[in-house]
Amino acid sequence: MAGASPPPPGGRRRLRDDGLRTATSAEQTKVEDIVQEVFDACKTNHHASQFVLQREKHFHYLKRGLRQLTEAYECLDASRPWLCYWILHSLELLDEPIPQSVASDVCQFLSRCQSPQGGFGGGPGQHPHLAPTYAAINALCIIGTEEAFGVIDRKKLLEYLHLLKQPDGSFLMHVGGEVDVRSAYCAASVASLTNVLTPALFAGTAEWIARCQNWEGGIGGVPGMEAHGGYTFCGVAALVILKKEHLLNLRSLLHWVTGRQMRFEGGFQGRCNKLVDGCYSFWQAGLLPLLHRALHARGDTALSMARWMFDQSALQEYILLCCQCPAGGLLDKPGKSRDFYHTCYCLSGLAIAQHFGSGDLHHEVVLGVPENRLQATHPVYNIAPEKVVRAVMHFLQQPVPSLEPATAAD
């Protein structure tokens, strides 16, 4: 349904602080004032160009970043596979092909980030870590060539995952590092894409994740912590991979995540009582397809077969009006700087908001001009659905690597 109408102004509700002003309510009011200015300017101009995804500008911003970065990115030296993933995924959402020479260069670079111990580090010669391992394998699956798949040392990867596995079912992010729900998701994601997922590797993991769901309904980083959008996505997506979503209180989770869409801005916040942030357009909105699927599997008859359980048009309006940098790239909220992280997750959230379902049951809601339409993204892996299929089919042709008994038992 291209050319969908923006949400009616009457549907927006500003913060009511009941006359009790706090630092939090003051910050929220400030953001609403800035967003109000953007919405008012759009109404004043009465021009359809307001709802236009600046494809060409975003493409050039991303293309430059893949080849050369400024000194400002020095602080992300330990996140270089992430930069590859954020940029490559943004390009695939924009339906921009990656030149073969560039794809090959990325493969060679990521191969230098792979550790002899297994997994990938944040850059060549750096210690392996589950976060860049996830990013590197996603980037290689987006490229999807024999060269890309050939980079991944699956036996060493499986050994590394066993090294990080804890007796309670959780995973360390790196040797000697912290435990949280991110590591369980990163491990489940890379293991399932590369066909190294075994019952022994994930024994107890689903139950540990379920213990991270708290009284709010969302999932915290570890049991007992505050619910958070990023951790909640990681927990739910990992349980989808492990086919154990039923361990969660899905109704409570649905109540929590739908309450994170901001009533005035239209975007999502990451936690209760926090500000809107463009990146949660994916981390929170991306939960709704996963919940829809889980509730449908339980036979919930109240589910729509045409829309997700959030305001898809309001989210698209927030991203298109408030999160685009005029020079290309996307951002957290008006007044913030663009970066590749927010570009990736704003575009990913926009894709989730535009596409419902898949195959025969596929409905589109595209706000603004038809050219705003992005390619769909897989809500579990956040890469193109056909790239997930290609990777899974490729690695299913190879047996699960066998480990030495001592390694598997560790």
**Which is catalytic among the residues 185, 280, 318, 381?**
280
Catalytic residue among 228, 260, 292, 355: 228
Q: Of 42, 279, 322, 323, which is the active-site residue?
A: 279
Q: Are strands 366-367 and 2-4 parallel, antiparallel or unpaired?
A: parallel
Residue 333 annotated in active site = no
User: b or e along 92-127 (b: 16 or more beta carbons within 10 Å of the residue's beta carbon)?
Assistant: bbbebebeeebbeebbebbbebbbeebbbbbbeebe
**Which of these is catalytic: 58, 85, 332, 355?**
332
Told to judge if 339 belongs to the known catalytic residues of this protein, a careful annotator would answer yes
Catalytic residue among 162, 342, 355, 387: 342
Let me know how long the chain is: 410
Q: Are 383 and 92 within 8 A, CB to CB?
A: yes
- Name which of 269, 271, 370, 373 is nearest 318 in CA terms: 269
Active site residue 271: yes
- The active-site residue, picked from 58, 165, 174, 271, is 271
Active site residue 186: no
Catalytic residue among 162, 277, 345, 355: 277
Active-site residue 342, yes or no?
Answer: yes
Separation between Cα atoms, residue 313 and residue 367, nearest integer Å: 6
Token pair 């809601």 is found at 365
Question: Catalytic residue at 155?
Answer: no
Give dist(CA 367, CA 350) in Å, integer.
10
Q: Are 342 and 323 in contact (CB under 8 A)?
A: yes
The residue assigned the tokens 């930069």 is 83
Main-chain phi, psi angles of 403, to 5 degrees: -110, 155
Q: Which of 238, 232, 223, 275 is closest to 256 using CA atoms?
A: 232
- CA pair distance 230, 340, nearest whole angstrom: 17
Contacts of residue 367, Cβ cutoff 8 Å, sequence gap at least 6 = 4, 5, 6, 51, 313, 316, 317, 320
Q: Name the residue among 373, 357, 338 with its Cα closest to residue 51.
A: 373
274, 307, 363, 394: the catalytic one is 274
User: Of 339, 344, 345, 346, which one is the catalytic site residue?
Assistant: 339
Which residues does the annotation mark as catalytic?
A: 228, 271, 274, 277, 279-280, 332, 339, 342
